[in-house]
Amino acid sequence: MENSLKKYFTWILSFIFVAAGTLKIFSPDNTGDILIFIFEIDYQTSLLIVYSIATIEIVLGISLYIKFKERLTKSLILFSCTLFLVIALIGYLDNWSLTCGCFGRFSFGRFDELMIFRNLLLVLMALSIRFEMRNFKNLVQKEPIANNNK
């Protein structure tokens, strides 16, 4: 069960990263607007950053799917998902009224509780594929108390 769940999470994350990157390439404006808003940069610079982010997302998604440099790729996926969650939290707490730009112009999501929940799920999926579940189980399980009766 654990391995099949891990496999499905890998496929889901791969698809999301490739889809998000591809859609950003074809419609970079929403993501560019976020970058302009956050960093106060010009439009051309924002496009360069958006295309860079999109390329990285596509490469990470494909690398995850084909199991290229698995440990590094899974770590970068986890880092990216965590970064997305942090940005979502900041946007929510700061009451940003922009769309997130996660999927280019197809992004209708606002910085709200639902976005935080979605990003939290992505982080949990990324955690589960990055670390073996038995490592978590070992942390939870306590060692048996030694029997001192002789």
For position 99, what pLDDT does the model report? 75
For position 139, what pLDDT does the model report? 54
In a domain, 51, yes or no: yes
Mean pLDDT across the chain:
85
pTM here is: 0.81
Total domains, the chain: 1
Q: What tokens appear for 72 in the block?
A: 């590094």
In a domain, 145, yes or no: no
102 compared with 15, residue with greater pLDDT: 15
Is the pLDDT score of 59 beyond 90? yes
Task: State mean pLDDT over 94-101.
Answer: 80
Q: How many CB atoms lie within 10 A of CB 81?
A: 23
Domain that includes residue 67, residue range: 2-131
4 compared with 11, residue with greater pLDDT: 11
In a domain, 148, yes or no: no
